[in-house]
Amino acid sequence: MSDQKQSPVEVLKLESNYLRGNIAEELAADTDCFTHDTIQILKHYGTYQQDDRDARAAKRADGQSGKVYIMMVRSKIPGGKLTSRQLLAQLDLADELGNSTLRITSRQGLQLHGVLKANLQATIRRINEIQLSTLGACGDVNRNVMCCPGPYVGSIYQETQALADRLAAHLAPRTPAHHEIWLSDPDSGEKTLVGGSDPEEVEPIYGRVYMPRKFKIGIGFPFDNCIDIYTHDLGFMAVVRDGRIVGYNVLVGGGMGTTPSAAKTFPALAQRMAFVTPDRAVDVATAVVKVQRDFGNREDRKIARLKYLVHRWGLEQFKAKVEEYFGSPLADPEPEDVTAFNDHIGWDEQGDGKWFYGLHVENGRIKDDETTQLKTAIREICTRFEPGIRLTAHAALLFTGIDPGDRGEIEAILRRHGVKLSEEISTVRRWSMACVALPTCGLALAESERVLPDLIDQLEVELAKLGLENEPFTVRMTGCPNGCARPYNADIGLVGKTRGKYTVFVGGRLLGTRLNFIYRDLVPLEEVVPTLVPLLTYFRQDRTPGETFGDFCARKGLDDLTAWAETNAHS
């Protein structure tokens, strides 16, 4: 560590003995929660300690006090690719050790909620037994590597998935403490002491203190930006010519999180830095990671992401430092850039005689309720047909490798369990997404996942009145400004500011290549749709041919939109 003043988390990581800390001792203790310091180290193993605020309120109503502690456990799944057997095992864990639901994340992972501390070790061990891992799904390391999940037969899709797998393996934490704490038999006496080892031997990329903050990588195509490549710390945009990937445009410095009370923080889209051939992509990624490791801010976690280093230095200086770590100059980016976005919903041919089906999963939550038995339907499909599984960046699920003759039966299973097919989902709902928020996320200031479906119900009615029901635009909602559902580049972003009130952003775009701007602040939930209706009315009346809603709002700007809405408020 440098002479720079270090944040408390940096000190914890340094003293943690390569992420060992007191985790083993606290796991063995007969308590319902972990201590503050251990919580910080636990994140690197894909788990957060949370307080169920609904259960806490119910407890208080019964005259009891105190928090209701639970754990969230996240699996890291490069490119969102897994098997039916693995998905079924995760559903079993949700039923046996979680709150009976499984959530697809906006980064192509899976989350279990409601796991008790006493069941945490068993949960993580069982996830490892099905050849998945939680290591690095959270914490100050490279998180899940995303890539286009399309299972199309052809070298370019297989090549990007292979790159995601290589990057995930190469940048995974290597501390033996992972095996010691979570995977070894607690009764065997097996113990691995990692203290005092050479940092380059234990963690050749991260060293003793790992990264200053989380780090995110995505791999995409110009003709399909389904992973929102501009929102990542590091992006690899495939340059495809004559049907093959000749290299990647390298993007750096994206990130959604912000703290409104701290003017020094901001959301950012990545900048195009360089072009690299496929054989050197991992080397460039390593160089970028090491530059951030060595020069990212370790004093103030609010400004510790890579985007702040790029902003502080400027792209030219940052590129020069990456070239120094890489060992040679890097070419300028090729002209290719994002032109389209595919959510992969519905039926599509893979190119090998088989099909895949993209199933819309509202806000990624797999569950059964009174009207829809989604979890049961997925269980039946995975058990009977054993399709491949892919998770998308919009928290949808793809069943892959489907024989043409099985398409009708898969649709019948979904209908039988009350699950709407892709053609029955409205356009606005299809392109909407919310973060988890209340009651479990400790950062949530307002509702998100639980209220977005009703908000979309209201919006569907208004769009139909305006004849805009087939207009595609993104609506993304978060319970706080951290931006887990990527609200800041959406056509419409709804960000929780305080309980029941939201900041309304407009002017982003479906392609994900432009930040939006604040249209209204502190809008009560019940007034969100009435606040948007005048803008949608204006859009219908004054759009140019082919113009999208986000492009329209960006062209008109805040003052024009505000003036029109105020003038026509009661029309």
Q: How confident is the model over 321-350, as pLDDT tens digits? A: 999 999 999 999 999 999 999 999 999 999
Residue 564 has pLDDT above 90, yes or no: yes
Catalytic residue status for 302: no
Q: Which of 147, 148, 382, 484 is catalytic?
A: 484
Give the confidence band of 297 by pLDDT, cuts at 50, 70, 90.
very high
Where are the CATH 3.90.480.10 domain residues in the chain?
Answer: 346-426
Question: How does pLDDT run across 480-513, given as a tens digit for each residue?
Answer: 999 999 999 999 999 999 999 999 999 999 999 9
Q: Are 177 and 18 in contact (CB under 8 A)?
A: yes
- How confident is the model at residue 66, as a pLDDT? 86
Q: Which of 138, 226, 441, 553 is catalytic?
A: 441
- The three-class DSSP label of residue 71 is strand
- How confident is the model at residue 2, as a pLDDT? 53
Question: How does pLDDT run across 434-466, given as a tens digit for each residue?
Answer: 999 999 998 999 999 999 999 999 999 999 999
Q: What is the pTM of this model?
A: 0.96
* 49 bridge partner residues: 71
Catalytic residue status for 74: yes
CATH 3.30.413.10 is held by the domain 436-567? yes
| Closest C-alpha to 140, from 314, 310, 35, 292 | 292
- How confident is the model at residue 92, as a pLDDT? 98
Q: Which of 43, 74, 375, 497 is catalytic?
A: 74
Q: Which of 138, 148, 226, 435 is catalytic?
A: 435
Residue 292 has pLDDT above 80, yes or no: yes
Q: Which of 214, 319, 497, 520 is catalytic?
A: 214
Catalytic residue status for 319: no
d(CA 137, CA 124): 12
- How confident is the model at residue 190, as a pLDDT? 52
Question: How does pLDDT run across 387-419, given as a tens digit for each residue?
Answer: 999 999 999 999 999 999 999 999 999 999 999
Strands 81-83 and 388-391: what pairing? Answer: antiparallel
Catalytic residue status for 214: yes
Does a cis peptide bond (omega within 30 degrees of 0) precede residue 439? yes
Q: Determine what percent of the chain is predicted with pLDDT higher than 70.
A: 97
Per DSSP, the residues of 108-137 read S-EEEEEE-GGGHHHHHHHHHHTT-B-TTS
Q: Determine what percent of the chain is predicted with pLDDT higher than 90.
A: 92
Catalytic residue status for 441: yes
User: Of 104-118, 148-162, 182-196, 526-540, which range is least confident?
Assistant: 182-196
Catalytic residue status for 138: no
Q: What is the mean pLDDT of residues 9-38?
A: 97
d(CA 545, CA 431): 22
Residue 195 has pLDDT above 80, yes or no: no
Give the confidence band of 119 by pLDDT, cuts at 50, 70, 90.
very high
- How confident is the model at residue 65, as a pLDDT? 80
Residue 377 has pLDDT above 90, yes or no: yes
Q: Are 180 and 20 in contact (CB under 8 A)?
A: yes
Residue 188 has pLDDT above 90, yes or no: no
List helix spans (H) across 186-247: 199-202
Residue 291 has pLDDT above 60, yes or no: yes
- How confident is the model at residue 335, as a pLDDT? 98
- How confident is the model at residue 569, as a pLDDT? 73
- The three-class DSSP label of residue 300 is coil
Name the token pair of 378. 């997925």
- How confident is the model at residue 449, as a pLDDT? 97
- How confident is the model at residue 571, as a pLDDT? 58
Q: What is the mean pLDDT of residues 229-258?
A: 97
Q: Are 86 and 110 in contact (CB under 8 A)?
A: no
Catalytic residue status for 429: no
Name the token pair of 4. 């720079």
Give the confidence band of 201 by pLDDT, cuts at 50, 70, 90.
confident
CATH 3.90.480.10 is held by the domain 346-426? yes
- How confident is the model at residue 336, as a pLDDT? 97
- How confident is the model at residue 185, as a pLDDT? 72
Q: Which of 13, 143, 375, 520 is catalytic?
A: 143
Q: Which of 33, 148, 382, 480 is catalytic?
A: 480
Where are the CATH 3.30.413.10 domain residues in the chain?
Answer: 436-567
Give the confidence band of 61 by pLDDT, cuts at 50, 70, 90.
confident
Q: Are 75 and 134 in contact (CB under 8 A)?
A: yes
- How confident is the model at residue 94, as a pLDDT? 98
